[in-house]
Amino acid sequence: MSANNFFQTLRQSFPKDLDQTAVWAGNLAYSWRDLDEASAMLANLLDGLKIPKGSRIAVQVDKSVEAMMLYLATLRAGYVFLPLNTAYQSGEIGYFIDNAQPAVVVCSPANFGWVSKIAFKAGVQNVFTLGDDRTGSLLERAAHCKRTHRVAAVKADDLAVIIYTSGTTGRSKGAMLSHANIRSNAEVLKTYWGWQNGDVLIHALPIFHVHGLFVAIHGALINGSPMIWMDKFDPKAAIAHMAKGTVFMGVPTLYTRMLAEAALTPEATAHMRLFVSGSAPMLVETHEAWRERTGHTILERYGMSETVMLTSNPYAADVRHGGLSEKRIGTVGFPLPGVSLRVVDDAGQSLGTDEIGAIQVQGPNVFAGYWQMPEKTAEEFTADGYFKTGDVGKIDADGYVTIVGRSKDLIISGGYNVYPAEVESYLNNLPGVAESAVVGAPHPDFGEVGVAVLVARPGAKLDAAAVLASLKQQLANYKVPKHCEVVSELPRNTMGKVQKNLLRDAHAKRFL
């Protein structure tokens, strides 16, 4: 049924007057009619390719309103959107394309040479380009398509999006999210965050991850609210947009960069209703500085690619928690309505108030599994159907959840996840490297960044700068450690395991 198609829900939320502005992007204004017609044209283009329903549409393009329209078109036509970080290099893209076997690949015109080579080699028949300035073969072809399109019928649990997320072992896994998963989250957040008439979202995040693609775009569209679109985050421009905006969503780095601007004042933010932060822990001092500078308390929430949003501080009184409405700094708030969250010990037993353990979750927002990895999927779920988040936390007497750490070896840098195991595997393949360890170090801008510690092969000489330069050729730039040093041996415990805690301690002050 087309009612199961999440695009249909978004479309029905558009305002009656389709000629009102839906998106302001620089000097351009896109109406709701533009969103409807452009997504119809792109959906017709995809349909015309005669690819099977459920085909993956892999997209690695710079942020643009047209890229959002392509996302909407993919949902509308019943295909599966596969967004890829623009920082990914050829090795990474090659893996995603081989793994997901997309029917269509869309890349930026500048990357067509190498991306199309990879795609054609993998058997992809349709490769289009889309620039951030409305150029490229995708729009040229879509221009010839009809402006109306019947929303595709889907089943509620049909796949809508695959989001690749790296892992502590092995290669990235594609988290499969259904129309029902993304719908449930968008509907819950609309109410929980009090979306209202007159809201205007300042869209500052990339749209190849859950935060910018789902939480932000769905939030605005399902409320029929317009967006102020920023192709790239710029702190001065973001603050200037607050004269017209009401809702801002960011990772902590965006907030620390805005805090460095003298223009950030109570007056500049007076029109704003809601500031949301997530994707990485926000320091208490950042929360406090923001409150002091603007008079607003940032609402922190917690989510994952596999689950979309899980918990949130309340925006208004939460009747499930005695009417508490306090945004409690240092916590990620309450499990969202419909989400069941528990903290368990190593034996899987639920823990009591303030006891620290592993966070497990269940709910209509939780993904169906990893693309073509049934065993990996089974490992990540408990026998009674809870997803193991890999985060460590506690729940206080009022029900607020606090994340205290992670059991997964993961660095979150400026809101992007960096898995040390992946970086180490590339380092270990470099000539002259015997072994390596990558750890996170606190960083004033990115929150955390990677530091690489290397041991050279006997007789080999390693140059740290050359190692990093070589890594940059192969890996997305945000994954490349910000510091590298060569040591004679890695610290190990009696079991032979590298003691990463000692390395973390040794580099704890490096960037502060």
Question: Where on the chain is the footprint of ligand AMP (CB under 6 A)?
Answer: 165, 210, 278-281, 300, 302-305, 332, 389-391, 403, 406, 412, 417
Question: Percentages helix, strand, coil for the chain, rounded to the nearest 5?
Answer: 30, 25, 40
Nearer to ligand MCA, 32 or 71 (CB): 71
How far apart (Å, rounded) are the C-alpha atoms in residues 283 and 40?
43
Nearer to ligand MCA, 66 or 231 (CB): 231
Nearer to ligand MCA, 31 or 305 (CB): 305
Residues 6+ away with beta carbon under 8 Å from 200: 225, 226, 227, 228, 244, 245, 246, 247
Member of 191, 477, 493, 499 binding ligand MCA (CB under 6 A): 477
Nearer to ligand MCA, 107 or 251 (CB): 251
Instruction: Count other Cβ atoms within 10 Å, centred on residue 435.
Output: 15
Give the β-pairing of 274-277 and 247-250: parallel
**Using the rule CB under 6 A, is 67 a contact of ligand MCA?**
no
SS3 (DSSP) at 228: strand
413 binds, among ligand MCA, ligand AMP, none (CB under 5 to 8 A by kind): ligand MCA
Minimum CB separation of residue 188 from ligand MCA in Å reads: 15
How far apart (Å, rounded) are the C-alpha atoms in residues 202 and 242?
8
Nearer to ligand AMP, 129 or 417 (CB): 417
Contact criterion met (CB below 8 Å) for 436 and 453: yes
Amino acid identity for residue 96 in this structure: F
Residues 6+ away with beta carbon under 8 Å from 382: 348, 360, 388
Minimum CB separation of residue 449 from ligand MCA in Å reads: 6
Determine the interface stretch with ligand MCA among 7-15, 288-296, 413-421, 498-506 (rule: CB under 6 A). Answer: 413-421
**Using the rule CB under 6 A, is 315 a contact of ligand MCA?**
no
Listing from the earlier edge strand, what are the strands of the sheet with 274-277?
28-31, 21-25, 227-229, 201-203, 247-250, 274-277, 299-304, 308-312, 334-335
Minimum CB separation of residue 282 from ligand AMP in Å reads: 7
Nearer to ligand MCA, 225 or 305 (CB): 305
Minimum CB separation of residue 278 from ligand AMP in Å reads: 4
**How many whole angstroms from its chain centre is CA 2?**
27
| Residues constituting the chain | 512
How far apart (Å, rounded) are the C-alpha atoms in residues 397 and 374?
37
Minimum CB separation of residue 236 from ligand MCA in Å reads: 13
Nearer to ligand AMP, 131 or 390 (CB): 390
Determine the interface stretch with ligand MCA among 58-66, 302-310, 422-430, 431-439 (rule: CB under 6 A). Answer: 302-310
**Using the rule CB under 6 A, is 478 a contact of ligand MCA?**
yes
**Using the rule CB under 6 A, is 390 a contact of ligand MCA?**
no
Amino acid identity for residue 220 in this structure: A
Contact criterion met (CB below 8 Å) for 22 and 226: yes
Minimum CB separation of residue 393 from ligand AMP in Å reads: 9
Q: How is residue 156 written in tokens?
A: 């509620």
How far apart (Å, rounded) are the C-alpha atoms in residues 201 and 183?
19
Minimum CB separation of residue 36 from ligand AMP in Å reads: 30
Nearer to ligand MCA, 212 or 369 (CB): 212
Nearer to ligand MCA, 178 or 413 (CB): 413
* Site string (260-289) toward ligand MCA, x via CB under 6 A: ------------------xx----------
Residues that bind ligand MCA (CB under 6 A): 205-206, 209-212, 232-233, 251, 253, 278-279, 303-305, 413-416, 446, 449, 477-478
